[in-house]
Structure 1
């Protein structure tokens, strides 16, 4: 068994702890253990507790500051969203008001309903002016009066201040009661109007639902009013439409039941749900961290609701919206398919009418054709009787002519038999000549074939001899090459021996001469001019293989470049273009050709 495969075992030994218990029970002292200073330990624990308390305070402060900063950032984001929503709503309000004004002023001036609306608007504006005059203006006057009195009391001390303050308080209480009564009445009116609007909206929704259900249940007027000459076809199309609408009705009922089930699970009331929708509409989908923002706002609006309830309501509301969208898609698909079905039904009815008209026209044509056929049949019978008489007369004439032609044919056949016998004899003679010629040609070809076979046999013998001769020649050449290689190797060995002998003859054998080594050489003496006579230089020291001055100046490229340089044009584009185009007197060698101007 491998060491790595062995199980890991832990052994716990409590000998020291047992010994310690034994010493403590018997009261035996040891130098290893010292008495404990409990006051010092208490002071240390107190210091640690105070330090931990200060750390907890710091942590709480940091948490509070982080919460405040988070709250401030959320409020800033809320303000930005509110400002954008405020601008959008103002723009929409201005747009709608302008459209309503233009609609009321320009279009349908004689309409009674619109004139009633304008009168109602004027009445509302008059009521608003009266409300401002009777309620808002007195409150503002009272407020200004109270501010003035407070300022006057602070500046001038008056003995009747208590009496005046009691009167002022009574007046303020009286105004508060009046305002409270006014606000209660306004709230009642607002609630009444809201209830009326909600009733009307419910009625409108019920009416629209009834209309939709009627549309789903009733047959379309287009199909009922259309005429079809085939009642079976019309009844089958109507039954198909009924089956088609029943499927959509079942799906729509399923969606309605699903919406009702989801609506029952809503965590908010109708008014709170309306506020929830308004808050969601304030935050468009392209905002960063949209969900956190609107959940924070919902928690502020509904402090009595927990975050879990709001999230649950959000989940059910998303399900409700999804089901509602699916229901709308179903209704739109039903409308589309209904229109398509009606169009197809109209086309089929039109085709049925066209086919019916064609069949009726064909029946009329058949009657006319039968009448014409009867007339034509009578005429044909009459014509057939005349034709039979003509045919009898012609048959007699033809019978006579046939007898004459038969006699002529007999004579002509006899002549043909004689001619055929003559032709057959000529053909026999011709084929006999042909066979004789073929036999002669075959004999000639056989002789020529035997001659060719003899020639090919002789040629094969000659080819074998030639191949053998070529092999011998090749072997001879190979032997000669081997002998030449051996001779070259022997010659190379002899040359090496001669060179080695020459190396030995020319080998340096110099004795040790320190005087000669330290003395001046002939070259150094000549450089210093010691012991050398002057002589006239008659010939150059070295032979130069190069161009002379005349040859260099005679080159047209050099003369052109010097002329350009004197004129100061050697760096222009003209010079760069013209210099490569000038050819030398003698064409240069291929290995000496310049590639400077080709780069």
Structure 2
């Protein structure tokens, strides 16, 4: 802040100020025009700026504290909302459990006159209810009374002035501390009772009923009694069915054993104590996925509940719990699938046995030959073999899918663990790859430009050579045409001279000297008389209809005809040069729109 305020003391100098300062320095510092600096005023301004900077810093710190407090209050408010939603559910669960126990006690009936345990159980339930009510009166009621008393005292203090003595408030504080100590002792006793009861349950072997764990394998009967006790006329068929049941049991037992081994490799509480693990799981169950920002909320609550554990430890414990639940769910799914396949195999086996019995009965009744009996057995064995092959294929596919899912889960956990350590290496590798790609791209561009330049130079040289040949060819053609024109001009002049000479000779031969006859000169000619006397004969000699077309003058006036005739005379009308020249020559008048052709030749 002080560094930013120093810019206000910088003075902008001009050229005139620099000249004045130079003159003052030449005249000496003791000149009357030089004014001493006011250090006190500058010090006062600097102190004011520092004070302003300190005030702004305090305001920023206050704002940060307020923002932190607001964030903390918002988080606590969200936790209270979650707990307010969880409390009714727990109360309903408690009421349901009490109702179930009450209904169970009411539905129990003694087996006989000597069975008195039911009455002792009911008496024990009544004793527990009385002890619970006494415990509530001794522990919960004092807290509520103290709360009501404190609320009443606070209300009086707000409406009235503080008139009570200091000794009264000291008594209230002592009472509050006494209630706190009493509650701490009660909680400690309850915790001790809880640990003792848990040890007793574990000692009696009732832990599996309390936790409801599904760790134990569900042993399905290997071969059902319906198949073992059934009367089958074909021992091979029965042995095949029994072998199918054994193979099915062995396959699923191996899968269940592998899942059980995976489950036993980790502790049931994932390395934590039972109490902490239960609290951890209960906290996770409160923050469901429908709550906005549920992950941040339950991580905040877990850090509040377990201040001694880091965030990484909590996340690792969460992943271990997820993996354990996934293994248990897979174990349950495999067990259910085993039961379903066992039932399907039993149904198909019973159907097969029934078919075998019907087939044997028909053999006995109709006295069929042994070949037909062997055909039926082979047909049944083939059917069973196909079904077993289908079952084995289904089991292999399911095993492959389960193994793939397990590998994907392990790979995902491994990637999550290695992701944090591999980020910087990936970034460095990306930067290096980027520079290598840039370098390769520049080399490729330079090489491509060099190749393109060489290609263009070769094309230009070839084009220059062709142009030179074309120019030489045209110069030779022009020279030849000039020579031909000169020869034709000489020939034409010679013919003209001969023609004039012949005409002159003819003039001398047919020359007549006529006498002057003015009357004949002014009279009508014979041609005029014959034309006017024979009008009808002239009309008969006219054409029947007029022809509307181009005249020879109009056709010759078209430059395209003249150019084509000149090219034809030169013998070039079939060359590419003639085609290019004729394609660029336009007619004297542009064609009409209705006469334009869309055909392309």
TM-score by length of 2: 0.44
Q: Between Structure 1 and Structure 2, whose CA radius of gyration is higher?
A: 1
